Every structure is written in C-alpha cells, then in structure tokens.
Chain A
C-alpha cells in the first residue's frame, strides 16, 4: 500500500524550531518529487515547499523562505521539513504529498498530517 506518514509535530514557542519527517512506503520514493502543504485551523490549503527527486531543485513559498528548509533522504525513504524562527501564523496541520510524475504541482498521495502549534 502506498503510504506517507508524517511525524514531528508538537507545541513550540514563537522563535523556536521543529523538524518534521515524512516516511514513505509502498513506492519507489527516490523516483518521486515531493511537497509540503499546510492547513491552518479552519483555513484552506497552503503550499509550503517542493523538492525534486534528486534534491537538485527546491522551491519555497514566500511566507516560509529563509526560515524553512526541505530535504530528503532516499536511503531512509524520508522527507523532512526543518522549521526555524517559528511564528504563530505557522500553526497548522502539515501534510507531505507526493507529486505526479512531470507535474510537481499535482499531488496524488497525501499523508494524514502532523500538527504544529506555535504558542507561548
């Protein structure tokens, strides 16, 4: 079964850091591009970041650029999101999502998400 499982969420103070992980199974992770998407409480979906299959191409939303870093480890079938200088507005459920081949903005497999709460 194709599956993505996020972890690493939690409560963090403003200005703090957190590292999210996403473990993939059931498909050849190294062949797929990946995205992080978040959803603030009661709000819509917001794209956060993209990474190519070989990590050579990376994009960030303006709202997180310079604070968040996406990475991947194909040996561990895992995707990561290092989040620094966290703000209250970063509070959200964070989803990792697999991109369709050749269409990095279409996402065909999603994890269940991990919740990040930024609060003092």
Chain B
C-alpha cells in the first residue's frame, strides 16, 4: 500500500521560516493534512486540504502541495511551535488512512 515519507528532524532559528515536507504517491490525488503533537499531548490539526487552518491556529502556519510532495510552512517560528509534526492523507488505491513518520521541529 502507499506510504508517506517525512524527514526525521528539522531546526529553525526563532522568528525564521521553516518548511516541513511529506512525500507520497497518494499526494498526487489527495491533499495532506498536518498535525502538531507536543510531548504527552494529543495531536492537534493545524492544516487541512489545499491550505485551510482550523479555528485558533495562527496564520503563521500554511500548507502547499506540488506533485507528490506536501509542505507545511511556519513563517516566523515561535518557541511554542517546537513539536513533532505529522502529515496525513488517504491511500489513493484503497481506503486506508496514511500518516507520515513525523518530523521533530526544534526552535533554536
């Protein structure tokens, strides 16, 4: 079945811009969503669809997609953005839900 691939870790200086990417064949057909997870907490949806933010998510979070790659961009990263980020979508062949392996974001 399909899978989503993320880099294991990325770092960004406070106030700078960082992009987290997710690759997979299913992303050619379906947009990804992105989740933020801090230690000991449940995931929080931050971006879904083409580039939609749930209520309460700061506008420094944005999403984009090109070909088989989806990206989450944080413009002006804050200390509180340090977390694990997961992409998710659905399998383009079957009906399974897919999650990427997660990317650990460190804010320096």
Contacts and interface: CB of A to CB of B under 8 A. Distances in A.
Interface of A: 35, 37, 44-47, 50, 59, 61-62, 95, 97, 100, 103-108, 110-113
B86 to A, nearest CB: 5
* Binding site secondary structure of chain A: strand
Contact of A44 (B33, B45, B96, B100): B100
Contacts of B35: 45, 107
Nearest to A107: B45
Nearest to B101: A44
B83 interface: no
Given A62-B96, A108-B54, 9 more contacts: A35-B97, A44-B86, A45-B102, A95-B43, A103-B49, A104-B90, A106-B49, A106-B88, A107-B45
Interface of B: 1, 30, 33, 35, 37, 41-45, 48-49, 54, 84, 86, 88-90, 95-102
Nearest to A49: B97
Contacts of A108: 45, 48, 54
Given A95-B42, A111-B42, A46 B49 contact: no
Nearest to B94: A59
A47 B97 contact: yes
A105 B97 contact: yes
Contact of B48 (A59, A104, A106, A111): A106
B87 to A, nearest CB: 10
Interface-centre pick from B84, B96, B102 (highest chain A CB count, 10 A): B96
